[in-house]
């Protein structure tokens, strides 16, 4: 297990060496296949349609993929590495690992299970109210009080702190995709 963690951290560092508020537009994204991976099966067993359609995601892999995209420009309606809006970013990152997320922030806020702010773990989705009442911005927890997101039309995918001056009063909840 420890070797797997070290290997994942090394992969994140290698990708990072080689290579940052939205309300989503509802654009329809392209599928996000993983090379050599089998397609994920649809959810069953009475689960809500907004729930992810795959087994528990690997938090280290999810955060590694998210961190490898630092510096990608914000693009309203963006769903790929040429540019992301906030929910396009989270949908793309999870999609790279076979986890299907809804496209819109408000629908992502209904997926998975709710977690308290003091229970956040890497890979959890964090939601804020920014441009409208309710969930209007989403990010991915990466550990400690840090998260990664596609913040605004003037920004890039980047890491920020929940304890910063802007985010604490806008935090409205978090969801775990397992």
Here the CATH number for the domain that contains residue 97 is 3.90.1720.10
Domain-embedded: residue 80: yes
The helices-and-strands tally (H runs, E runs) of the chain is 4, 8
Alpha-carbon distance of 178 to 175, in angstroms, equals 9
Confidence of residue 132 (pLDDT cuts 50, 70, 90): confident
C-alpha 99/C-alpha 13 separation (Å) is: 23
Q: What is the mean pLDDT of residues 147-155?
A: 92
Number of structural domains (the chain) is: 1
When pLDDT is averaged across residues 143-172 and rounded to a whole number, the result is 94
Could you confirm whether 149 is annotated as catalytic? yes
Q: Tokens for 38?
A: 């089998």
Classify residue 104: in a domain, yes or no: yes
97 is catalytic: no
Range of the domain at 156: 2-21+54-176
Q: Supply 111's token pair.
A: 């997926």
- Whether residue 144 has pLDDT greater than 80: yes
This model's pTM is above 0.85: no
pLDDT at 175 over 80: yes
For residue 137, pLDDT beyond 90: yes
86 as an active site residue: the answer is: yes
**Catalytic option among 22, 30, 97, 149:** 149
């Amino acid at each position: 297990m420890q070797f797997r963690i070290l290997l994942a951290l090394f992969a994140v560092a290698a990708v990072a060496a080689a290579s940052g508020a939205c309300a989503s537009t509802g654009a329809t994204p392209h599928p996000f296949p993983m090379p050599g991976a089998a397609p994920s099966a649809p959810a069953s067993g009475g689960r809500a349609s907004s729930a992810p359609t795959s087994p528990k995601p690997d938090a280290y892999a999810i955060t590694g993929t998210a961190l490898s995209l630092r510096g990608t420009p914000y693009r309203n309606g963006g769903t790929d590495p040429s540019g992301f809006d906030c929910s396009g970013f989270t949908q793309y990152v999870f999609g790279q690992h076979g986890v299907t997320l809804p496209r819109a922030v408000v629908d992502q806020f209904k997926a998975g299970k709710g977690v308290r702010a003091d229970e956040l773990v890497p890979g959890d989705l964090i939601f804020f109210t920014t441009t409208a009442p309710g969930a209007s911005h989403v990010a991915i927890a990466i550990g400690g009080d840090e998260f990664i997101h596609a913040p605004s039309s003037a920004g890039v995918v980047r890491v920020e702190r929940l304890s910063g001056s802007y985010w604490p009063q806008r935090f409205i909840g978090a969801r775990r995709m397992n």
